[in-house]
Amino acid sequence: MLTRQWRSKMRSLKTVLVKGDDVMEVWLRLLRYCVQNKSEASFGDENNPKRIGAEICSRVVLEENAVNQLIDGAALGDDLRLPFRRGAIQKYIDEYTLEYIEEQAQLPTGHNQKFTYTYYDRFRRYPVGTEKIDQVSILRENIGRQIKSEIFSNRHQMITWIPEIDIMSSEPPCLQRVWMSRVDTRSVEAHLDWRSRDGYGAWHVNLIAIISMLYRDIALPNGVRITRVIDSCDSFHVYAGDLQKVESIV
C-alpha cells in the first residue's frame, strides 16, 4: 500500500533543453536538472505502481562527436558513473538484430527470457492485419530516395505503437517513433520521441543501441553519416530507489 506522500503529490513536469557534443556531459546535465526538480510521485499501473523521486520533460540535441560516441557506444561503458559496463551495453546492442528477434519469437509465452515486445521487432515486423511491415527496409529506401533526388521529406519515420495491443497494456513501448531526414547529400539526422524514460538506468543504453542500429541499417547502406540526434521525452525520470545514487554522481 502506497503512503499518502506518494499518492497525493502534484505532478511538476519542468521542461528542459540540453545541447552538447559529449554524451556523458549531456546525461549528467539531464540528471542534474532532474534532481533539482524532485517530485515524489507514483505512476503506472494501480496494481503495481512505480515510485519516482524526480522528473522532467526533456529535449536533447546531440551533435557530431556525441553521435560518434553513440555509434561506438559500448566504449561508454568504461565510465564507472554509468550503471552498465561495456559487455552489458554490447549485449543490448546485439538485441537490435534479426537473429535476436527470431530467438525471441521461438520462446514460448511465459518464458522468463521472453519480452512483451522489443523495439526492433516492432520496427522490422510491425503487424498490419495478417501482414508484417518491415519499417526499417522502407525507411532505408526512403532515405536513399531523399539523397538521390536531393528533395527533403518530413514523411519518413518508424513507429512502435500498436493501438489494439498497447492501449490497455501494462507494459506498452516507451519509444514511440523514429523520424529521419537528410541534411545534405552526405548526412542525415534522427529524431526520437519517447513517452517515458528511466533517466538513470536506460537513457544511455537506449540511445546507444538505437543510434547504432540506425547507422548500421539506414545510414551506412546509403553512404551517409548521422550528424545530429534530437531526443524528446515526455517523462525523463529517476526512480526513488536510484535517487541517492544519482545525487552522488551529479
* Count of Cβ atoms closer than 10 Å to residue 203 Cβ: 22
119 is in which domain, residue-wise? 4-249
- Total domain count, the chain: 1
- If residue 146 lies in a helix (H) or strand (E), which one and from where to where? helix 135-149
Q: pLDDT category, 111, cuts 50, 70, 90?
A: confident
Residues 120-142: tens digit of each pLDDT: 999 999 999 999 999 999 999 99
Over the chain, what is the mean pLDDT? 92
Residues 158-174: tens digit of each pLDDT: 999 999 999 998 889 99
Residues 19-73: tens digit of each pLDDT: 999 999 999 999 999 999 887 878 777 777 888 899 999 999 999 899 999 999 8
Query: Locate cell 517513433: which residue?
Result: 177
Query: Locate cell 515486445: which residue?
Result: 117
Q: Compute, in degrees rounded to 10, the torsion defined by CA atoms 193, 88, 201, 158.
A: 10
CA separation for the pair 67, 69 (Å, rounded): 5
Contact 197, 13 (CB under 8 A): no
Residue 2 pLDDT greater than 70, yes or no: no
pLDDT of residue 172: 93
Q: pLDDT category, 8, cuts 50, 70, 90?
A: very low
Residues 217-242: tens digit of each pLDDT: 999 999 999 999 999 999 999 999 99
Determine how β-strand 175-184 pairs with β-strand 126-128. unpaired
- Which grid coordinates are listed for 151? 528533395
Give me the CATH number covering residue 155: 3.30.572.10
Would you say how long the chain is, in residues?
250
